[in-house]
Each structure stands twice: as C-alpha cells, then as structure tokens.
A and B are shown apart, each in its own frame.
Chain A
Amino acid sequence: MSTEILMPALSPTMTEGNLSKWLIKKGDTVKAGDLIAEIETDKATMEVEAVDEGVVLDLLFKEGEANIPVNKAIAIIGDPNEKVELKKEAPIEKVNEEKKIEKNIETKIETKKDNIIDTTSPKIEEDRNLSSEEITMRQALRDTMAEEMRKDNKVFILGEEVAEYQGAYKVTQGLLQEFGKERVLDTPISEHGFTGLAVGAAFKGLRPILEFMTFNFSMQAIDQIINSAAKTLYMSGGQINCPIVFRGPNGAAAQVAAQHSQDFSSWYSQVPGLKVIAPSTPYNAKGLLRSAISDPNPVIFLENEILYGLKGPVNNDINFSIPIGKANIEKEGKDLTIVTYSIMLQKSKEAALRLKEEYNLDTEIIDLQTLRPLDTETILNSVKKTNRLITVEESWPFGSVGSEIANIVQRDAFDYLDSPVIKVNSADVPMPYALSLEKLYLPQVDDIIDAAKKVSYIK
C-alpha cells in the first residue's frame, strides 16, 4: 500500500508552502522520524519528518517549487512492488482524528482566503502609480519600514525575533541584513522593559518602531504605552513628544484561543494622546504605516495575522502616504452603510455582494483605516445619505469602536436614521479554541447580512 506525503500546515495561518529542499530521493527507504524535506512557510523554513515507513516511490514536486497548497501530495512512499496510482484531486482523508482537525483548519483558511478575493477599491483604481505586481501585506509593511529607515537614521526597529529570526511573521525579513544590528534589535521576552526603553528613546529624539509579536503581549507593557507614551506630551506642557510606532498583529489568528486572540482596537482608541490605525489591504498598509512612522506622536498600528498573506497592488512611490484620520469609502451605495475596519472589511465586502444579489440592497462600505482620530465626517455623511447603519468589527461588543460610532450617529444624525444602528461584534466571551466555537465567536458574513436585513426591515 502506498502513502502520500502531504504538504503540511506548519503554522496556524499557513495556506501554502515552498519546497526548498528534498532530503530524500526516489528509491530511498524512509522510517518514521526521518527528515524528508525542507519547507518554507509563511513564517520560516522548517524540516519535515516522515510519519510513515516505506520506499520513496515518487517525488511529485521539484526543489524550489513554490506555492504548493497545504494538504497537496508532495511525495509517495510505499512498497516498491506495488503499482502506484496517483489521485488527481482530493487529498487522502486520514482516519486519524488529528489529521481531521488539520483538514478543518485548512478548510477554514481556504474559506478565509475566499473572503479576501477583491482587494481593489475605487481609490486604488484611481491611483496612477499603482504597481502592476501584487505584493502581500507583510511585504508592504516591510518595504515601508525599509524605505523609512533608509530616509531617516533615527528610525530603528526592536522587538522579539525581529532580527536574526527575520520576524515571527516575517514582517521584518531582510531588515537586519540591510540595516545591521544597531538598528534592528532582537529583544528578550520582556515587553514591559523594552517598551519603556523604546519610549525613553523616543522622548530623547529617536523614532522607534516597536513590534509586539502580538498585541496580546502589549498588555505586559500597557502602563508604558498609556502612562508614559500617551500622556507625557500633555504632562510636560508640550515639551516632550513620543514619536513611536507600536505595531504587530492584533485580534484572532486561527485557533490560537483566548490569550492570543484578543482585539485591542477599542482599548487603545479610548486613549487621548494615542493615534490608532488598522489597515485592511497592502495598499493602505503601506500608505498608513508611512504616515505612522512620520508622525510625531505615539501610534498604535494594529495589523492582522490572517491578512499578512493578502496580496494586492500598492503604490511604490517612497513618499506615498495615506493621511491618518481619513476613512476610505471602499464602495459607494445608497441603501445602507457598513462601517468597518481591518479584516472585517473583507467579510463586509462579501456580505455586500450577497446583499445586492439576494435582496437588491446597495451597500456603502466605509473602511475606517484610522480608529483614532475617527473620521466622523465621512461616517455622518454616509448615514445622511443611506439612513441606515451597521458597524462590523472583530472586537468584543462592550464599549467597542462601533459603540462610539453609534453614539456619535445618534447624537449628530438622529433625524436621518430610519432604523436603530446595529453593531456586529465578536461574542462577549473569551475566544474558544475549538474550531466550531471559534467560528461562532467571530462575526461571519451571515451575521452581517442578518444585521443589514434588520436595519432594512427585511424579514
């Protein structure tokens, strides 16, 4: 009996991998535990071990082949005397429970990827300097950091695994090689200490970019972010500013559970003295990160792990920036307004397509891009036009960004509203681990459609 060796998912968000190197060749006998290949994932290059035994009957990909989907057969092992029959499509279903779970993850990631089909917004289309090549969000972020570091020697980056490891999510890939260890610094796992250090450096005139491996770890350092970075300009009567960018992935990834999945958008947006940005595409990530690095104030830059692999065109002008505090009207519409940000933009766009097809509703989508300062003008103008509003975000419901928007809209556009504002948020519980519960926890396209029907009084 022959067995297919499948492209493994080596990280929660990996959807495809590159075959860097074969460590076996046709005809070799392999035992469980033998190293068979080196696979480059979205995060790192890793060695893969065999879990079955047999003779290598065939290698299905050559060294160097890229973008091989997870769960695709890459090699076949088995009894050399047996005839090999190659399955065309579906990977072999494993009976093993563990494999089933892996498969589920894969399906889930695929679903998420499907949601991320359309990355072009009208504004991008109007951009004459748009690159013909599409790049990922992580490349867009890295390129922008590198461009700003070339321009200004005072810009440096620090964080856990940003240098030699090339970034836990590869966002800082290549920066150490270009800028050296004086400007790309690996820190110990010591958020409170190195955040305070970076804040001190910013007080003294440097322009640190501080990467949190995830914003969940920023809670270890939140005193320095709020009490030191955000308040000192005010407390010093305008003398001491803090030009620093705190960036890293925020919110849920895939099945990393309660302590690694929290969305901090409303926490930081509550604080005067901070600016808060949440990009949704490679295009706006590039423009917004440049503005963040150039800003003389502390900026919280909330990325999303699942979006790191999202591809799209960008503007490669090294001075291209998107102003902080400006929302983007992602799609114009007349029947209702969806206000959203970060990863929920993609789900909102999918919902808008279905709302048009199934209910003939013409949805306007506003991508906030910046959460603080909030572009209330764009929101209010839209509500005055459509008279109906839903907010869609990943954060917990209590006191979320949507809560504040609902407050502003009822205060400043009360007479324009034809229905109550509805917020779509994550469930008001810690993030569960189980895939099924995780899906329930996060806002889904159906939740957005339900909310849209409610504000439109469609049964």
Chain B
Amino acid sequence: MKKLQKADYIKMYSFMLKIRRFEERAAQLYGMGKIGGFCHLYIGQEAVVVGILMTIDKNDSVVTTYRDHGHMIARGLDPKRIMAELTGREDGYSAGKGGSMHMFSKENNFYGGHGIVGAQVPIGTGIAFTHKYNGEKNICRTYIGDGAMNNGQVFEAFNLAALWKLPVLYIIENNKYGMGTSVDRAAAGLDLYKRGEAFGIPGEKVDGMNVFSVIEAADKAGKYVREGNGPYIIEVQTYRYRGHSMSDPAKYRTKEELDNYKQTDPIEIVKAEILKKKIATNDEIEKINKETLEEIKNAAEFATNSPFPKDSELYTDVYL
C-alpha cells in the first residue's frame, strides 16, 4: 500500500467532517420542513466511505443505497447541489426529481442512490460487467447495507459476478440494524462477509470506525478486483448514530450502546492521529472546522434559495 501523505490525513479529516456537518444541517432543515420525505443520515459511518475514497480511481464507478449523501460528498460532488436535491430544488443533482434517496452524477461515475433495498447490487454488478466488456481496468464499488444481505437478488448478483469474474468490490456497511431490526434478528449467521464463500468470493471483516483499517482493506481488495480476479467482499463494521431515517426514534437500542460507539468516533480517531503525528496543529484543525461549517452553511442557504422546479418539468425526463 502507498504510504499515506500528510495531505491524505487532512483530506480524510476534511471529508469526514464535511459529511458530518452536512448531515447535521440536513437534519436541521428536515426539522424545519425544508426537506421532506425520507432522509437517511450517515452520521457515525463516515470512515467507511472516506476510507474507500482514499483508494479509488476517478474512472471507477460507485453505486450505493439510499443512505447516500455521504457517498456523494466523498465522490467530490458539490454539497450545494446535494443539499438542493434534498430540498427538492432545480439545482439539485436530479433537478429536484429524485430527492434524498435517488441522486446520481453520471459525469462522476456515481450511479445512485437506490431506494429499493438490494436493487443496487445487480446494478453495480452490471456496471462492473460494462467495465470488463469495454476492456477498461476500472472497477465498480457496490455498497450494500446489512439489511440487503438477506435479499435474494444479492446472491444472484454474487453468483453472476463470480461466474463471469466481474470487477466488482462489494462493500457491506454493517451498521447493525436494518431499520429497527438488529442483524442478529434478521440474518442466520452473523458473518456477512462469508456469504460469498459458496461462490468462491473472498471476504473479510473490517473495523469501520477506524478509517485506517478501512483504507488497508479497501486497498488490498481493490487491487485483487482490479487485477481481474473477480469480485471481493468487505464487511465494514460501523454504526449509525441516528435512527434509520429522520422519523425513527431508534428505541430498539440502548443509549449505552450508542455512547459506547461514540467513544470510537471515526472523526476523533483521525484527528487524534493528525495531532499525534504533528501533521497539523489544533489551530489548523480549528480552521478546517470553521471552513467546513461555513461551506455547509452556504450549501444550506443555496439549497433553500434555489427555485423549485418549473411545473413544465413534471413531464420531462420520462423518455430520452
């Protein structure tokens, strides 16, 4: 693995912080009625997507679940336009027609944002198929929630990916709950990373609260897939601090459990590492914090001032 540079540490910290601040602001706007519908926050899981980001090629493809805001930020997309999609405005990435769960950016090889649990898994496998078909060296990173790991099409996709040796990296974000049902009440066999074994797909489990562990695993897995060996599964153990969606009080878990995870906060871990390695001073970190807060504040302002889509947009984009 390439040694992490000072700039890499700063990048990780900035992105994770940006995701956290973005989600907090989204929660606020939701509470104010500026964001409607379903809204699934990524707070607590930042190390997963940022760790993967550190190993990604810009021509690689990404497809994920409906908990997608953080994934878009990590892909380098503009928080202003992400937030404008959440507020359902014309400057949003889907011009206000997709909302929180359905956001895309083709030019950045970001293929959603899918609202149906498990549906993105065959789709990501098909995107990987295309990379191979076109003779490209790129891979498709396909994120899967723990809930989807009990969904039939996921196994159909695993079978196809292994059968045709497709360049797809499956990343299971195990945040312990599929909505209100804990993994042990939904999955027979808790080692989700082993669920590719029957297809000959290697898998491993990673601490998803620690970005450095994620990077190490993602780097190794990414190389394996890119070299044409077929799919690979990483199960990232993570935790969402908030409920499943904004309307979920998360009464199915204890406060102690939540507090316990907060002790290993992914952003604090990176920050501590930066200070320990003297990559930046407290003041410099404080500067990043301020800038990030400002950027997200601007995004919220942009998103609430962007116009609603024109009425005529109702009938566009049905057919090309």
A interface with B by C-beta (< 8 Å):
156, 182, 185, 187-188, 190, 192-206, 223-224, 227-228, 232-241, 272-273, 275, 296-297
Distance (whole angstroms) from the CB of B167 to the closest CB of chain A:
12
Structural contact, B320 and A241, CB atoms closer than 8 A: yes
Q: Please choose the segment from B122-130, B176-184, B188-196, B231-239 that sits at the chain A interface, where 4 or more of its residues have CB less than 8 A away.
A: B122-130
B159 close to A (CB within 8 Å): yes
User: Of A182, A238, A272, A296, which one neighbours B133 at CB under 8 angstroms?
Assistant: A182
- Which residues from B are CB-within-8-Å of A223? 116, 119
User: Of A193, A194, A206, which one neighbours B130 at CB under 8 angstroms?
Assistant: A206
Q: Please choose the segment from B106-114, B241-249, B267-275 that sits at the chain A interface, where 4 or more of its residues have CB less than 8 A away.
A: B106-114
Top 9 A-B pairs, shortest CB-CB distance: A196-B122, A200-B126, A193-B156, A237-B95, A200-B123, A204-B130, A197-B126, A236-B104, A235-B102
B316 close to A (CB within 8 Å): yes
User: Of B95, B126, B152, which one neighbours A198 at CB under 8 angstroms?
Assistant: B126
From residue 86 to 139 of chain B, which have CB atoms closer than 8 A to chain A?
A: 92-98, 102-106, 111-116, 119, 121-131, 133
B63 close to A (CB within 8 Å): yes
Structural contact, B125 and A240, CB atoms closer than 8 A: no
Structural contact, B104 and A192, CB atoms closer than 8 A: no
- Which residues from B are CB-within-8-Å of A187? 160
User: Of A188, A227, A234, which one neighbours B119 at CB under 8 angstroms?
Assistant: A227
* Additional A-B contact list (11), CB under 8 Å, known A187-B160, A235-B97, A239-B94: A193-B160, A197-B157, A200-B127, A203-B123, A203-B127, A204-B130, A204-B131, A223-B119, A235-B112, A272-B318, A275-B319
User: How far does the alpha carbon of A455 sit from the alpha carbon of B61 in the complex, in Å?
Assistant: 58
User: How far does the alpha carbon of A177 sit from the alpha carbon of B17 in the complex, in Å?
Assistant: 55
User: How far does the alpha carbon of A182 sit from the alpha carbon of B128 in the complex, in Å?
Assistant: 14
- Which residues from B are CB-within-8-Å of A235? 94, 97-98, 102, 104, 112-113
User: Of B112, B124, B157, B318, which one neighbours A236 at CB under 8 angstroms?
Assistant: B112
Chain A residue at minimal CB-CB distance from B132: A182
Structural contact, B111 and A197, CB atoms closer than 8 A: no
Chain A residue at minimal CB-CB distance from B105: A239
Structural contact, B111 and A188, CB atoms closer than 8 A: no
Known interface pairs A188-B159, A196-B157. Does A204 touch B127 (Cβ–Cβ under 8 Å)? yes
- Which residues from A are CB-within-8-Å of B106? 236, 239-240
Structural contact, B94 and A204, CB atoms closer than 8 A: no
B289 close to A (CB within 8 Å): no
User: How far does the alpha carbon of A206 sit from the alpha carbon of B116 in the complex, in Å?
Assistant: 23
Overall SS of chain B's interface: mixed
- Which residues from A are CB-within-8-Å of B128? 200
- Which residues from B are CB-within-8-Å of A227? 115-116, 119
- Which residues from A are CB-within-8-Å of B103? 236
- Sample 23 A-B pairs with CB under 8 A, ordered by A number: A188-B159, A190-B156, A192-B156, A193-B122, A194-B160, A196-B123, A196-B153, A197-B123, A200-B128, A203-B127, A204-B127, A224-B119, A224-B122, A228-B116, A232-B112, A234-B317, A235-B104, A235-B112, A236-B94, A237-B98, A241-B320, A273-B318, A297-B319
Structural contact, A206 and B156, CB atoms closer than 8 A: no
- Which residues from B are CB-within-8-Å of A275? 319
Structural contact, A206 and B123, CB atoms closer than 8 A: no
B258 close to A (CB within 8 Å): no
- Which residues from B are CB-within-8-Å of A199? 122-123, 126
User: How far does the alpha carbon of A203 sit from the alpha carbon of B164 in the complex, in Å?
Assistant: 19
Structural contact, A228 and B119, CB atoms closer than 8 A: yes
B163 close to A (CB within 8 Å): yes
User: How far does the alpha carbon of A172 sit from the alpha carbon of B153 in the complex, in Å?
Assistant: 26
- Which residues from A are CB-within-8-Å of B123? 196-197, 199-200, 203, 224, 228
- Which residues from A are CB-within-8-Å of B318? 233-234, 272-273
Known interface pairs A197-B122, A228-B123, A236-B112. Does A297 touch B133 (Cβ–Cβ under 8 Å)? no
- Which residues from A are CB-within-8-Å of B133? 156, 182, 201, 206
Distance (whole angstroms) from the CB of B95 to the closest CB of chain A:
3
User: How far does the alpha carbon of A237 sit from the alpha carbon of B126 in the complex, in Å?
Assistant: 21
Structural contact, A196 and B121, CB atoms closer than 8 A: yes
Known interface pairs A240-B111, A296-B320. Does A200 touch B94 (Cβ–Cβ under 8 Å)? no
Known interface pairs A197-B160, A273-B318. Does A236 touch B122 (Cβ–Cβ under 8 Å)? no
- Which residues from A are CB-within-8-Å of B164? 185
Known interface pairs A206-B133, A235-B97. Does A194 touch B317 (Cβ–Cβ under 8 Å)? no
- Which residues from A are CB-within-8-Å of B97? 234-237
- Which residues from A are CB-within-8-Å of B131? 204
Known interface pairs A234-B97, A236-B112, A239-B105. Does A192 touch B122 (Cβ–Cβ under 8 Å)? yes
User: How far does the alpha carbon of A205 sit from the alpha carbon of B138 in the complex, in Å?
Assistant: 15
Known interface pairs A196-B153, A236-B102. Does A204 touch B95 (Cβ–Cβ under 8 Å)? no
- Which residues from B are CB-within-8-Å of A205? 130
Structural contact, B129 and A201, CB atoms closer than 8 A: yes
User: How far does the alpha carbon of A355 sit from the alpha carbon of B227 in the complex, in Å?
Assistant: 69
Most B-side CB within 10 Å, residue of A182, A192, A232, A237: A237
- Which residues from B are CB-within-8-Å of A232? 102, 104, 112
User: How far does the alpha carbon of A193 sit from the alpha carbon of B154 in the complex, in Å?
Assistant: 7
User: How far does the alpha carbon of A205 sit from the alpha carbon of B320 in the complex, in Å?
Assistant: 14
User: How far does the alpha carbon of A272 sit from the alpha carbon of B93 in the complex, in Å?
Assistant: 21
User: How far does the alpha carbon of A110 sit from the alpha carbon of B95 in the complex, in Å?
Assistant: 56
Structural contact, A238 and B105, CB atoms closer than 8 A: no
